[in-house]
Amino acid sequence: MNSFFERRYIIQGLFIVMALALLGRLFYIQIIDDQYTQSAHNNVLRRFVIFPSRGPIVDRNGKLLVQNEPVYDIMVTPREVKPFDTVKFCQLLGIDRAGFDKRWKKAMTYSRNLSSAFEKQIPVQAYASFQEHLFEFPGFSGVQRSVRSYPDSVAAQFLGYIDEVNDRDIQKSHGYYKRGDYIGRTGVEKAYEDSLRGQRGVRNSLVDSKGVVKERYLNGLEDTAMVAGERLTSSLDIDIQKLGEKLMQNKVGSIVAIEPSTGEILCFVSSPTYDPNLMVGRQRGNNMAELFKNSYNPFFIRPIQAYYPPGSSFKPLDALIALQSGLITPQTTFNCVATYWAGNHPVHCDEPHGVTDLSRAIAESCNTYFCNVFDKLMNANGSKNMSQTFVDWKGKVNRFGFGVRLGVDMPHEGRGNVPTDVQFDKRFGAKRWRSSSIISLAIGQGELEATPLQLANIECIIANRGYYYKPHLIKAIGDKKITKAEYTIKNDVGIDQQYFEPVIDGMQQVVENGTARASRIPGIVMCGKTGTAQNPHGKNHSIFVAFAPRDNPKIAIAVVVENSGQGAWWAAPIASYIVEKYLKNTLTNRGTGKTPEWIMKQNLLPALKVAQPAIIKPKTVKEDSLEKGQSDSIKRLKSVSRKAKQNQQPLMAAQLRRKEHE
């Protein structure tokens, strides 16, 4: 009897423990753990990411440079996919079965439970047809995105392009970017990514058993608003940009124009260029492959990455340094007999200029005069202190923006090159080199190299009589038109204002009566300097730098046309038309017969060992070649392109480092 009661209590105790355990579990499931709640919600609740439109980009006058067009990505979650008519599915998307299998395998490899892009950038019209049958394909959904559109198809290198994020981008963003997002890869798109990208939003909706959206969840109380990217107002003037790109057709080189009073870049031409619309859409990967095959390298951003010897355009800078140092005056003269002897090395002039002062030396580009000036600069403290004197000179040159990055708001800016005393010590031996050893620097040759942006910035300094504002591409951000503070700071170069007038006098004479007289603009006083930069890889480069008008300058410009001869032949007339268009909004023919239309038709492309077409046209390709547009494929294309260029050895002098002058 006692044993029976004891067993009863034990059994009752076990039931009580089990009941308490079940109650505890129910409490945990219903009150503490939200896993089952979420699972239940997932059966009826869908979270749709709302991707923001990237901010538009306009020129300085409000004309659209970049806008957005809506497209759709077809997303897939493999776990939710049920048997469906794949033939109909493929027909609606315009792909074949092999393409379907390829995309399905990629989605499964990524994740069975997570959504990923199955097909990207479906045009609105095509998606409308697909959407009518979307309920037949469980596990698939459409997400609206936007792609860039370029109404005038200009300024490709200036604007840059966007690209799908890779693993490195996702890691660097600390999780902000997700697989399938897009990011600015080059140009302004990259430099201002944080402003342009906007902020993603989330919409929660209730769906039925077929996955069809029925209504907003809680009337949108838990939704997150999407914030569109900010509008950027660029400094570019689209009218002179268009003209510049037309004038540089079938030529290799660059045009950079800057407003001296602000540092705003008005014109940014890199030639050869490409249609930026080729970098969007479903054939983007194929178009990019063709562009990479182009041996003239349209992706190379010449205004900030190409290095050129500045040639005679460097002479005014040395004159200003010598004037400030008190080594010469505007009245200082040297006798030119057409040859300057630097030791046993002759430096020739085009003609004997006779007794020449500073302004005339600039106007007639007298090499003898500036070799004498450079000799005075280098020997100012005696030949035994040459190395330290050179270091001081280099520092003054750097203040003008040579050999340093100017800090333009675009990635991958080059610094050019101003040699160091250490380089000359290694080459000639410590304390064994003299001004005659490096005399080529006097006329902007030798180891000196500058980007077109740096050349244009020098003209801003001269136009402003001693200072410049940091060159920049974007003048205002957002509706509030915010300008970065760093672009409002004057950068003084350490030269008194009075010393600029004799230099400017000479530069005015270059255009009025000198080497650039054929490019004189009726009614405009333009001050300039021609340059013929020696090129060991082919024909000399044509260079012209200028600003206008002389008083209260509105534009400073640098033009480089590779492998085309003297500065007066090509660079000067191109620059004069850009200046005239900007200041007067007209174009008048010059007496030489070099009209804008004539210049546009001339082909000055340097010869290649293996000819490649300079104009890229989209090809008709199969839809299933879309995977070529992904980041990994682009990397492979770049590798192939580099190998091809090594075999072809194009005469792209601006992309090659000059060997040390012997």
Q: What is the pLDDT of residues 73-94, one digit of tens each?
A: 999 999 889 999 999 999 999 8
pLDDT of 576 > 90? The answer is: yes
pLDDT band of 589, cuts 50, 70, 90:
confident
User: How does strand 57-58 pair with strand 232-234?
Assistant: parallel
Burial 19-32 (b: 16+ CB within 10 A, else e): eeeeeeeeeeeeee
Domains and CATH numbers, the chain: 69-146 (3.90.1310.10)
User: How does strand 490-492 pair with strand 339-342?
Assistant: unpaired
Q: Region 603-628: what's the mean pLDDT?
A: 53
**DSSP alpha helices (H): ranges in 410-546?**
421-428, 452-463, 500-512
Distance spanning both ends of the chain, measured CA to CA: 118
Beta-carbon contacts of 646 under 8 Å, excluding residues fewer than 6 positions away, are: none
Q: How far, CA to CA in Å, does 350 sit from each of 177, 353, 364, 374? A: 60, 9, 9, 19
pLDDT of 315 > 60? The answer is: yes
pLDDT value for 427: 92
pLDDT band of 660, cuts 50, 70, 90:
very low
| Tens-place pLDDT, residues 433-489 | 999 999 999 999 999 999 999 999 999 999 999 999 999 999 999 988 888 999 999
220-229, 353-362, 372-381: least confident range: 220-229
pLDDT value for 212: 62
pLDDT of 130 > 70? The answer is: yes
User: Which of 484 and 12 is assigned the larger pLDDT?
Assistant: 484
pLDDT value for 655: 42
Distance of alpha carbon 230 from its chain centroid, rounded? 19
pLDDT value for 606: 84
Arithmetic mean of pLDDT over the chain: 86
pLDDT of 543 > 90? The answer is: yes
| Tens-place pLDDT, residues 144-166 | 888 899 999 999 999 999 988 98
| Tens-place pLDDT, residues 370-402 | 999 999 999 999 888 899 999 999 999 999 999
pLDDT of 405 > 90? The answer is: yes
| Tens-place pLDDT, residues 412-427 | 999 999 999 999 999 9
Q: Region 349-357: what's the mean pLDDT?
A: 93
